[in-house]
Structure formats: structure tokens, C-alpha cells
Amino acid sequence: MDTKKNPLIGIIGGIGPYAGLDFLRKIFSNTRAVKDQDHINCILISCPSIIADRTEFLLNGERCNIENPARGMFESAQRLYRAGVEYAAVACNTAHSAPIFRPFSEMVQEYLPGFTVVNMLETCAAFVKESLNINHIGLLASKGTYKSRVYHEYFQEEEGAVLIEPEEQGREKIHEAIYSKQFGIKTYSQPVKPHAKNNIIYEIYRLVERGAQAVILGCTELPLAVDPRDFSVPILDPGLLTARRLITLAAPEKLL
Amino acid sequence: MDTKKNPLIGIIGGIGPYAGLDFLRKIFSNTRAVKDQDHINCILISCPSIIADRTEFLLNGERCNIENPARGMFESAQRLYRAGVEYAAVACNTAHSAPIFRPFSEMVQEYLPGFTVVNMLETCAAFVKESLNINHIGLLASKGTYKSRVYHEYFQEEEGAVLIEPEEQGREKIHEAIYSKQFGIKTYSQPVKPHAKNNIIYEIYRLVERGAQAVILGCTELPLAVDPRDFSVPILDPGLLTARRLITLAAPEKLL
């Protein structure tokens, strides 16, 4: 394969496995292709057994001596590197928190020359700043993401960004929409149950009522439940923005 | 990663891209897992740009000087090998035809020691022989698969196997269910259109009327359209059987 002409895109998945799968599907479905051969060359690595729980690490890492997930993410990156990958992304929101993503990026920079990692949250923040030019941004996410405040690292108050999060009860409803064993998206995703969908739609409207000019779906499960076209404000999927960014880097003429 | 304890499964995908994605989903959904870390370590490579059209090659390869898809499949295998894969499969029915699969396997054996490729059609044939003990087998597939007679290589008349294929009109209906731009599964897969679904269900019943004791869904798109539990005879998905075989090889205790 002429990797000059056909750069290889890599996805560090497994966190969780279905989020990685969904990320790869976004690359496929955003590629201009009428036959198999038109599609972009990609590799998805899904090695969840070597990557510790991200939220657990952020909340209890030091106290409970939990390994930094950065190590397993880096091992996944090494394997992609050996397979020939040039541009990669990590298919998980919480993994982008500084205590995880910073050491990961440092190891990549030191040991994997020419391996570019596109930061999903940075990509989302850049899109909001450059294309939307707004500063009140609603955020729907899992409890772990709120607690770890990972989005606050990328949308900084000093720069004028105001992140609007659901109130306590709303966070609970979103958490249930993702995790409930009865109707949550992690258990029922094809199709998503109406109960989960309604929880999310209601909380999007609540955020808009409270002044959100756009709403970020800050958990890889949420985009499975709602269609952004159904709302009057921009609904942002960081995974989708990053998939499109990877296509732009590897083969800009193929971006749909 | 301790690859003794956690062997890495590889999927040679891209032929087509969505078939590879669906194969990986089958590994995930057949794994006993309650949290991310329980899932099996996998890599999916999807490099369609380097793998020539399989049917085209089988029908017109020599006349039109089309490169053997085996070369690009082998290059994909090499990359998986460098990433540490031990057990792999090829997510495409037609690629298992002898003119493609034989040279591919020979290259793997010669250059990639310790890299085991599970043959999807051999796995399906072994299942029919060992678990079903029947000899009249219906086959639903694309026109290319019928023409290339790839299933006849694995279900041999000398061994008593009788492959029952749809008549001319039925083949056309299955081909449309897969390829039609108006309602085919390659264009509409989430959800599959009723027109495509009905075509397939009707042809399954026709094969059963003509004596089929089981029906093979011999094209990676077909399992997206029907639920095997809806029929009185076994409906076999070679991809599913192979996904389960890979789990059995890599981590038998995790087979759901």
C-alpha cells in the first residue's frame, strides 16, 4: 500500500468497545464512496482488558491505586503505529481528561514519531469557537464526565465559555438513559428505547431554556439516541466532528 | 499486554467496510461481558483501497488483468501480524473462493508464523456436518457467489452435500435485496427496508419447499435483514459461526 497516497487512520477503541465501533462507522458514513475501494483505510484497535476504567481512575485513582488508563491507551497506540497508522483518535470522552490524556500524549510524542493524535474535545471546542461563535454551551454527559470536569479543561471560563450542565435531577435522568439495565442505551441500542430517548430530549430542551446556544452530546452513547436535525440549536457530537477531522487530514477530497 | 492470557483477534475487513464492522460487532455481542474490561482484545483492519473486487476478479480476472485480491488481503494480514494478532478471519464470503483464498493462505503460512486464519466457509461446512448432520443445504448469496461457486468448494457432492440455490428469478430478488439503490441493504441497513426483508424471507421459504433442511446466509449483508429464530429450519450465518469460533480459540470461557 502506498501510504503517501492512502494514509492509514487508527482508532483507539475498546473504551467502550461499542463506542469504538460507532466511531469507525462515522468515518465510513462520512466518506464519499460508491464502491468498497473508495473507502479510506482504517484500523480500529479494541483492547479493553488493558485499559482501566477512566471514571474510576479520575475519582479514586490514587486512593485505590488504580493504574492510569493512559498506559493501555499508549500500548494500543503502539500497536497501531506498528501496523502503519499515521492519524489517530481516542474514542472516549472521559479519556480526554488531562490526568489521562496528557501523559498519553507525552508518551506518543516521545516514542511514536509521525503518529498524530487528534484530540476529540479540542476538535469540538475549536468547532464551537470557529464555526458557531457562541459562548453558552450545554453539556449532556455521564456523571463521571461531570465530576471529572473534563469539558471545563477545553471550554475555559477565562476565554468566555459558559458550560451549562443539567441540575442534579437532570444528570440522574441522563445517567439512567445511558446505564439503566431496563432501558439504558448501553443495554438497548438497536433500537434505543423511547424512555432513554425522551430523557435525553427533555434535558436538551431544559438546557436550551436555561440559555444554551448549542448542546454537546458528551458521551459516546448519546448520539445513538437523537437526531441533531430535530432541534432548533446545534447539537454537537464530538465523535462525528473528530471522524470528519480525520478524513480531512487523511483524504480531504473524500469528506462527504 | 500479556498476549498469552489475552490473545489478540484480528479481522481482515474492508471487503466491504460495513461487513467488517458487523463481524466485529458479532464478536462483541457473543462475548460474556458485564464491563468494558471483560471484552476480548480485537483489531479490525479495513483497507479496501488495496483489495480488488472479488467477484470481478473471479469472473474476469485473467481476461482484464485484474490483480488478485489475495495480495491486498495478505498486506492487511501483515499489518495485523505486526500489531500482534494471533487469530484472524476474513470478513467476506467471496474472498474464500480457492483462486483467492489459497494463495492468500499460502503467503500467510510462509511469511507469518503463528498467525492462524480461521476459514469462514470451512467453519460453516464443519458446523453443518458436525452439529446438524444434514445434507440438503439451501444457499442465499449474491450473483457473484453463485457464479464463482465458492460454496461448492466447501460443500462437496462427493461427500453427499446437496446445495440448493434459488432459481434464476429468486437469485435476481436476492441480488436486488442486497444491491438495489431504492431498497437494497447496501444502501439501507439501519433499518433494513421491508422490501429487501420480504424478498429474502420469501426465498428462504422457497428453498425450504424445495427440500432445504437449513439455509446459509452466504452474503455478509443478509444477516442484517432476518432473525434466524423466525424460521422452522436452522438459518446459518457463517460470520456469526466464525466470530464464535474465534472467541473459542482466544478465550473459550468468554463464549456467550
> Tell me, what's the pLDDT at B65?
87
> Tell me, what's the pLDDT at A55?
84
Mean pLDDT on A186-200: 89
Cell (9 digits) for B199: 424478498
Mean pLDDT on A121-148: 92
Gap between the Cα atoms of B43 and B34, Å rounded: 20
Does this chain's domain A9-119+240-254 share its CATH topology with A121-238? yes
Query: How many inter-chain contacts (A to B, CB under 8 Å) are there?
Result: 127
> Tell me, what's the pLDDT at A1?
62
Strand order in the sheet with B136-140: B162-164, B136-140, B214-217, B235-236
Residue B176 phi/psi, 5° resolution?
Answer: -65, -40
Cβ neighbours, 10 Å, residue A12: 30
> Tell me, what's the pLDDT at A188?
83
Q: Assess whether pLDDT exceeds 70 at residue A132.
A: yes
Per residue in A14-69, pLDDT (tens digit) is 998 999 999 999 999 999 988 889 999 999 999 999 999 988 898 887 788 899 99
A41 and B75 in contact by Cβ < 8 A? no
Cβ atoms of B50 and B72 within 8 Å: the answer is yes
B83 and A51 in contact by Cβ < 8 A? no
Class of domain A9-119+240-254: alpha beta
Taking CB atoms and an 8 Å cutoff, what residues of chain B touch A44? 24, 43-44, 46
> Tell me, what's the pLDDT at B1?
62
This prediction has a pTM of 0.93
Q: Assess whether pLDDT exceeds 90 at residue A186.
A: no
Taking CB atoms and an 8 Å cutoff, what residues of chain A touch B49? 1, 6, 37-41
Cβ atoms of B115 and B108 within 8 Å: the answer is yes
Task: Name the band, by pLDDT with cuts 50, 70 and 90, for residue A183.
Answer: very high
Q: List, for chain B, all residue ranges whose pLDDT scores fall below the cut of 50.
A: none
Cβ atoms of B207 and B215 within 8 Å: the answer is yes
Per residue in A84-123, pLDDT (tens digit) is 999 999 999 999 999 999 999 999 999 999 999 999 999 9
Distance in Å, alpha carbon of B212 to nearest chain A alpha carbon: 31
What H or E segment, with its residue span, contains residue B198?
A: helix B194-209
Q: Assess whether pLDDT exceeds 70 at residue A3.
A: no
What H or E segment, with its residue span, contains residue A135?
A: none
Cell (9 digits) for A164: 451549562
Per residue in A218-243, pLDDT (tens digit) is 998 899 899 888 999 999 999 999 99
Cβ atoms of B69 and B107 within 8 Å: the answer is no
Does domain B121-237 bear CATH number 1.20.120.1200?
no
Cβ neighbours, 10 Å, residue B160: 11
Q: Where are the domains of chain B?
A: 9-119+240-254, 121-237
Does B256 contact A at CB distance below 8 Å?
A: no
Mean pLDDT on A196-209: 96
Class of domain A121-238: alpha beta
Residue ranges of E strands in chain B: 9-13, 42-46, 87-90, 116-118, 136-140, 162-164, 214-217, 235-236
Q: Assess whether pLDDT exceeds 70 at residue A190.
A: yes
> Tell me, what's the pLDDT at A62?
77
Cβ neighbours, 10 Å, residue A149: 13
Does A37 contact B at CB distance below 8 Å?
A: yes
Distance in Å, alpha carbon of B199 to nearest chain A alpha carbon: 22
Query: Closest by alpha carbon to B166, among B200, B122, B132, B129?
Result: B200
> Tell me, what's the pLDDT at B55?
84
Nearest-by-CA chain B residue for A74: B1
Nearest to B46 among A41, A45, A52 (CB): A41
Taking CB atoms and an 8 Å cutoff, what residues of chain A touch B42? 45-47
